[in-house]
Structure 1
Amino acid sequence: MEWFGESGYWLSRWMFQRGLGLVYLVAFLVAANQFRALIGSRGLTPIPRYLEQRSWRQSPSIFHIYYSDRFFALVAWCGAVLAGAAMFGIGDLLPLWASMAMWALLWILYLSIVNVGQAWYGFGWESLLLEVGFLAIFIGAGPAEPPVLVLFLLRWVLFRLEFGAGMIKMHGDHCWRDFTCLYYHHETQPMPNALSWHFHHLPKPLHRLEVAGNHFAQLVVPFFLFAPQPVASLAAVIIVVTQTWLVVSGNFAWLNILTIVLALSVIDGAWWSKVIPLNAPVAEPVPKWHAIAAIALTALVIALSFRPARNLFSRQQLMNYSFDKLHLVNTYGAFGRVTRTRYEVILEGTEADQPTDDAEWREYDFKGKPGDPYRRPRQFAPYHLRLDWLMWFAAISPRYAQTWLPRLARKLVENDPATLKLLRHNPFAETPPRWVRARMYVYRFTTRAERERTGAWWHREFVSDYMAPVGRG
C-alpha cells in the first residue's frame, strides 16, 4: 500500500459510500416519521423541555439555536434527501471538497437529532452511525484514491464493534461460556422477526454451534482485519456472513446492516471487480490538503481511542457508551446478559365509567413487539421502531419507562393522532377510551405441536398489573 492512497480500493469505497447512504436514509426517515409523538413539542419527552436543562456543551445540536417541530421535520427530510443523493453516488460527481461538505452536513444533521433524542436514541447503532459517518467525510470521492489511513480507521471501528461485542459476552452471562445462550436468545430478544420462531426451535446442538461461531467471528476474526490481503478480505467476508445470519434471525434496526457496510470497505477492490460490472476510473493521487486532513483525523482518533480500547478489557466493560458528546470514538457491545424469560407490557383501554376488572378491556397492538399471540412477528429492520424497543426495556424494569409510559397512556386516552401512528391498531378509532392501563404478561414461543394445533406463535400468561389505570383528565 502507498502511504496516503490506495487505488485498489476504489470499488470498496464505492460500495461503502452507497451502503452508508442507505443507512443514513433509513435513519432520517425514522426520525421524520416518529419524532412528533416521541420528542416533538407535544411528545412523550419533548425536546424544548430537554433543551432547557442542557447546554450546547452537554448536547451539541443545532436545535439549541432554534427549535420547532417544523424545523425538526425540515432537518430530517433534508437529511433524507442528502442521504438519497449519497446513496446514488452524487458525491462522486462533485469536487472533492463539495463531496466532503455533503458528508459533513449529513453527520451534523444526524448528530443534532441524536443529541436531543434522549432515551429514544440511546442505542449503540446511533453512535456507530455517527462515528462511521464522521470518518466517511474524509474517505474521498470520484477518481481520487481513498486515503489508506481512513481505510484503516474504518477497520479500527469494525474491530472495536466486533471484539467489544465478543468481550462483553465473556465478561457477562455464563451462558456464553457454556454455549447455551441461544437456547433463549431467539425467543427473548427485543423484537423477534418472522423467522425467529424457527431459529428458536433449531436443535440445541445447532444453538451451541451458533454460539461457537459467534465467539470465533467476534473474538478471533477481528484481528485479521489488519492482516495483508487476501486475509483481511476473508475476515471481512466472515463478518458479513455472521451479520447476515443476525439479519435473518431478528430485528436489530440498522446495526447489522451498518456492520456489513463497514466490512465491505475492507474487501479488496480486485474481489469486487469480479462481481460489480464497473471499471475504476484512472486513479488520481490524494491531494496534499486531503492527505494532511487524513493525518490529522488519524491523530485525533488515536488520542480518543485510549479509553474505548481500555474498556475492551475491563471487568466492568461499558456497553454502547460514548466518551465524547460528538460520538467520534465509542465503545460497543450487546447482550452481555441474556434474559431467560420474556415479559411483555400490554396496554389496554376501556370505555367503561370505572376501570374495574369486570369492564371490557381492549388491547392496543404494536407494529413490531409481540402482542396478539396469533400474529406472526414481522421483519422491520433496518427500520427502527423506537417505541416498540422501549416497551421491551419497560418489561425488564419499570425504571426504563417511568418518564414516558404514563404520558403514553394519557395520549391514548386522548386518541392523539401522532401517537396512534406509532401503533398497528387502535381499538378505539371512533370514541377514545375513558381509561388506559398496562399489564404484565410472560410470553414464550409455542411448541411445534401447539403451533400446529392452535395456529398461535406465542403462548402467554398474565403475571400482574403493571401501571394503574390512567383516565381522562
Structure 2
Amino acid sequence: MDWFAAPDYWLSRMVFQRGLAAIYLIGFLVALNQFPALLGENGLTPVPAYLRRVPFPRAPSIFHLHYSDRFFSLVAGTGALLSAVLLTGLADLLPLWGAMPLWALLWVLYLSIVNVGQVWYAFGWESLLCEAGFLAIFLGNGGTAPPLLVLWLLRWLLFRLEFGAGLIKMRGDRCWRDLTCLYYHHETQPMPGPLSWYFHRLPRPAHRVEVAGNHVAQLVAPFGLFAPQPYASVAAGVIIATQFWLILSGNFAWLNWLTVVLAASVVSWADLVRMLGLPPPPHPTAEPLWFTGVVLAVTVLVVVLSYWPARNLVSRHQVMNASFNPFHLVNTYGAFGSVTRARYEVVIEGTRDPAVTPETVWREYEFKGKPGAPGRLPPQFAPYHLRLDWLMWFAGLSAAYAHPWLMPFARKLLTNDEATLRLLREVPFPDAPPTFVRALLYRYSFTTHRERRATGQWWERELVEEYLPPVRLGRSH
C-alpha cells in the first residue's frame, strides 16, 4: 500500500460496505414499521411538535422543510430501497462520482430521522450508524483502491467504541473491577434473548472469566488495531469473537453487528484470498485528484472533531453515548457503566369493567420482546430494534412521571389505536377498547434449574407496587 491507497483491503471494504448497507436497511425498515406510532403526527411524541421547539441548527433534518406521515414514509422507503441497492453491490458498477452521492444520500436520510427521533432514537448505535455511514461515503467503490486514510478513520472509530466502553465500565460500577457484573447482567440486561437464561445459569467462575475476557477485548485489543498486520487482524478477531458472544447472550439491536462490520474492515483478507485460490481483485484505476482532496479534507475534519471525544476518554467524568455535534460525526460511546442487580418490569393491564373494584379482572398486554408472561421464552429479534420495548425497560428503572410518553401510550390503548397496537404482540381487547388501563411493577428473576424443570417457566415474578393507577379517557380512577 502507498501513502494514499490500500489495494489489499478491497475485500475489507466490500465486507464493510455490504454489512453497513444491510444494517441501514434494517434501520429504515424499523422506522417504516414503528415511526408513525411513536413519532408520527398522532404518535406518542409527535415530530411536528418537536420541530416547533427545536431549530434546524440543533437538529439538522430534512423534516424541517416539511413533515407529514406520508412524506416520512417516502423518506424511509427511499432509504430502504437505496440500502437494498447498495447491499447488492450495484454501486461498484457506477463511476466513483456516481457511487459517492448514493452513500451520502443514505446518510442524510438516516440522520434526518435520528435528529427528530427524540427519546426513541437516543441510543448509542444510532450515532454509531451515522458516523460509520458518513465515513462510508469516502471509501470509494470497485473502481478505486480503498483510501488508506479512511481505513484508519474506521479504526479510530472502532477504537473509541470499544475502549470507551471499557473505560466507562472500569470507572463505573465496582462489579466490573471485581469481575462479578455478569452474576447479574444476563438477567437484568434490557432485552434478554433465548439463550440468556442459560448464560445466567453458568457457574460463577465462568462469569468472572466472561468479565475478564470483556476487559481484554475492550481495554487491550483496541490498541492492537493500530499495529502492523497480522497483529491488527488478530485484535479485530478478538473484538469480533466478543461481539458474537454478546449476540448469543442478548439483544442489542444492531450494535454488535455494526461493531463486527467495523472490525471486518481492519482484517487484511489478501492472504485468505490467496489461500482459497480466489481471483485477484480488479486492478483499480488511479484515484482522481478531486477524490484525494476530498479524502484529505474529511480526514482533517475528523481529526479536528476528535478533540472532544478524545478529551472525554481521558476525563475522570467520562460520559457515554454522546454526540458533540448535531451531525453525529465523531462521537463518544460506552455501555453499562453501572449494572442493575435486580430486574423490574412494568406490566400493562386493562379491563372492560365499568368501574374498578377489588373484584375487577385485569388482562395483560404482551409486548413483542420484553419479558411478560413468565412461561414465554425471551425471543431473538436483534438486529431488529423494538423501540417501545426498550423504553419499557427504562420505565422500570424510575417512576412513571419520568417518562412523558407513558400517559399518551395509555391513552392510545384506551382507544385501541391501530398503529400503537401493531407494536404489541398480544392485545387482550382486539374488538373494543378497555375502559381502564393500569400498570404494575414486578420484580422478575430467572427460574432456577429445579424450578424450570418443575414449572416449565423461564421467569418468576413478584409484585412490587402499583406503577400507574387505573386511568380512563378523561380522568384517572
**Residues of 2 paired with 1:276 and 1:345: CA distance?**
56
**What does residue 463 of structure 1 align with?**
464
- Residue 442, structure 1, aligned to residue 439, structure 2: no
Query: Would you say the 8 A contact 2:95–2:143 is kept in 1?
Result: no
Q: Which amino acid is 1:307 matched to?
A: W
**What does residue 358 of structure 1 align with?**
359
- Superposition CA RMSD, Å: 1.1
Query: Per the alignment, do residues 450 and 276 of structure 1 end up closer, same or farther by CA in structure 2, a change over 3 Å counting?
Result: farther
Query: Would you say the 8 A contact 2:96–2:143 is kept in 1?
Result: no
**Residues of 2 paired with 1:69 and 1:309: CA distance?**
39
Query: Per the alignment, do residues 437 and 23 of structure 1 end up closer, same or farther by CA in structure 2, a change over 3 Å counting?
Result: same
**What does residue 282 of structure 2 align with?**
281
**What does residue 373 of structure 1 align with?**
374
**Residues of 2 paired with 1:97 and 1:162: CA distance?**
33
Q: Can you list the C-alpha shifts for 1:400-443, whole angstroms capped at 9, x where unaligned?
A: 85311011000001000000000000000122100000110000
**What does residue 30 of structure 2 align with?**
30
Query: Per the alignment, do residues 272 and 285 of structure 1 end up closer, same or farther by CA in structure 2, a change over 3 Å counting?
Result: farther
Of 355-364 and 407-416, more deviation after overlay is shown by 355-364
Query: Would you say the 8 A contact 2:400–2:468 is kept in 1?
Result: no
Of 394-403 and 35-44, more deviation after overlay is shown by 394-403
**Residues of 2 paired with 1:334 and 1:191: CA distance?**
14
**What does residue 39 of structure 1 align with?**
39
**What does residue 53 of structure 1 align with?**
53
Q: Which amino acid is 1:112 matched to?
A: S
Q: Can you list the C-alpha shifts for 1:239-298, whole angstroms capped at 9, x where unaligned?
A: 110000000100000000000000010000314524695541112232211111111011
Query: Would you say the 8 A contact 1:4–1:286 is kept in 2?
Result: no
**What does residue 306 of structure 1 align with?**
307
CA shift, 1:469, in A, is: 1.4
Q: Secondary structure at the match of 1:348?
A: strand
Query: Per the alignment, do residues 278 and 172 of structure 1 end up closer, same or farther by CA in structure 2, a change over 3 Å counting?
Result: farther
CA shift, 1:397, in A, is: 1.1
- Residue 175, structure 1, aligned to residue 175, structure 2: yes
**What does residue 192 of structure 1 align with?**
192
**Residues of 2 paired with 1:327 and 1:20: CA distance?**
16
**What does residue 316 of structure 1 align with?**
317
- Residue 430, structure 1, aligned to residue 428, structure 2: no
Q: Can you list the C-alpha shifts for 1:364-406, whole angstroms capped at 9, x where unaligned?
A: 0000000000000010000000000000000011268531101
Query: Would you say the 8 A contact 1:444–1:458 is kept in 2?
Result: yes
**Residues of 1 paired with 2:170 and 2:279: CA distance?**
43
CA shift, 1:10, in A, is: 0.4
What does 1:155-174 correspond to in 2, within 5 Å? 155-174=155-174
Query: Per the alignment, do residues 444 and 227 of structure 1 end up closer, same or farther by CA in structure 2, a change over 3 Å counting?
Result: same
Query: Per the alignment, do residues 242 and 348 of structure 1 end up closer, same or farther by CA in structure 2, a change over 3 Å counting?
Result: same
Q: Can you list the C-alpha shifts for 1:277-325, whole angstroms capped at 9, x where unaligned?
A: 5541112232211111111011000100011011112121111000000
What does 1:195-274 correspond to in 2, within 5 Å? 195-273=195-273, 274=275
**What does residue 5 of structure 2 align with?**
5
Q: What number of residue pairs does the alignment pair up?
A: 473
Instruction: Calculate the TM-score normalised by the size of structure 1.
Output: 0.98
**What does residue 127 of structure 2 align with?**
127
Q: Secondary structure at the match of 2:225?
A: helix
CA shift, 1:472, in A, is: 2.5
Which ranges of structure 1 fall in alignment gaps of 5 or more residues?
A: none
Query: Per the alignment, do residues 16 and 271 of structure 1 end up closer, same or farther by CA in structure 2, a change over 3 Å counting?
Result: farther
**What does residue 85 of structure 1 align with?**
85
Moved over 4 A (4+): 274-278
**What does residue 341 of structure 2 align with?**
340
**Residues of 1 paired with 2:279 and 2:267: CA distance?**
16
